[in-house]
Amino acid sequence: MNRPPSCGLRHVALKVSSMEKMRAFYVDILGFTVEWEPDSRNLYLTSGKDNLALHEVQEVLSPGSLDHLGLLVPASQNVDEWAVYLKQKNVALSMEPKTHRDGARSIYLNDPEGNVIQIIFHPPISSKT
């Protein structure tokens, strides 16, 4: 049987303890738009090509196995533009812009609940956005 088609990884869901802080960060700082908000504890965001779900929980959150979320940009210089923009918004970078051995360029930052985000230009797929 042939493998059915796939569009790749386009959906991530995060458990969050503060919907207010996380919404402000992903919408106001990173520019996601609200796709659907079924209630005050569930929020679905999009950049237009993906879906990020935020689910507010009551329990104490323990670290999971998620290493980082990747936000793809179309050009290498966009990484540097994001670095300047985030600093203007008082968002600290955990790694300044860096070009990797494979030609990718990226920065790292954390959202308000400590999830690591990589903003990356990755030549093999950035040109396909």
Which of 79, 124, 73, 71 minimizes the C-alpha distance to 98?
79
- pLDDT tens, residue by residue, 97-124: 999 988 999 999 999 999 999 999 999 8
pLDDT tens for 14-33 read 989 899 999 999 999 999 99
Cα 45 to Cα 18: distance, rounded to the nearest angstrom? 16
Cα–Cα distance for residue pair 113/18, rounded to 1 Å: 8
- Range(s) of the chain covered by CATH 3.10.180.10: 7-58, 67-129
pLDDT > 80? residue 92: yes
CATH class entry, domain 67-129: alpha beta
Q: 18 vs 11, 29, 87, 98, CA distance in Å?
A: 20, 16, 23, 31
CATH code of domain 7-58? 3.10.180.10
Q: pTM of the predicted model, to two decimals?
A: 0.85
